[in-house]
Structure 1
Amino acid sequence: MAKFLIQASYTSEGTKGLLKEGGSGRRAAVDQVVTDLGGEVEAMYFAFGDDDIVLVVDLPDPVSMAAISLAVKASGALHTRATPLLTLDEIDEAARRQVAFRAPA
């Protein structure tokens, strides 16, 4: 499974929907989308500031995250960004790999 941090802010239309459905209604909608693709919502929080909602989700692959992102952005209700999250083992493996890189001089 691939883990992602999702940060989003509602547009005015999205905020109207949140006010109508409430947080539990939105959680149910998010759970449905994620589980339909074989994933799981690990955490979901509402916030205020630059982000209105923050989630951590497990999905089978990055393509599933891209599919969700496209559908959500096409709705016009939210502006989102998804960040892939790496486990300690994954970052340890990355640190062991040799990469030939030369910085610009």
Structure 2
Amino acid sequence: MPKFLIQASYTPEGAEGLLKEGASGRRAAVDRVVTGLGGSVEVMYFAFGEDDLVCVIDLPDPVSMAAVSLTVKASGALHTRATPLLTLDEIDEAARRQVTFRAPGA
């Protein structure tokens, strides 16, 4: 199952919601969304600095991740980044594939 790193920062409205619900309330909401799509939350941490929230989640496919991303962004409560995570075996497989490429100007 594809794995994704989620990095998020709350908008002022989102931070107000976090203060009202608490961290456990937001974890429950994330769990509902992810498990509802057939996935799981591997880890979820709150932070401070550029990111307020960091998660690693498993979802069945990239389309599911796109659906979550669009819905969360449309709420206006969070600014998010989703990064696909690849295993060592996947990178080894990618490194073995032949790719024909010409650099610009070469």
Query: Does TM, scored on the shorter chain, surpass 0.5?
Result: yes
Aligned to 2:87: 87
Aligned to 1:10: 10
Provide the identity percentage: 84
**Structure 1 stretches lacking a partner, 5+ long:** none
Corresponding letter in the other structure for 2:92: D
Corresponding letter in the other structure for 2:15: T
Report SS of the residue matched to 2:56. strand
Normalised by the length of structure 2, the TM-score is: 0.98
In 1, Cα distance between equivalents of 2:16 and 2:49: 17
Aligned to 1:36: 36
Please give the per-residue CA displacement for 1:38-61, whole angstroms capped at 9, x wherever unaligned.
Answer: 000000000000000000000000
In 2, Cα distance between equivalents of 1:102 and 1:50: 37
In 1, Cα distance between equivalents of 2:104 and 2:37: 42
**Structure 2 stretches lacking a partner, 5+ long:** none
Corresponding letter in the other structure for 2:33: V
Aligned to 1:51: 51
Normalised by the length of structure 1, the TM-score is: 0.99
Corresponding letter in the other structure for 1:44: M
Aligned pairs, number:
105
Report the Cα offset of residue 103 of structure 1.
1.2
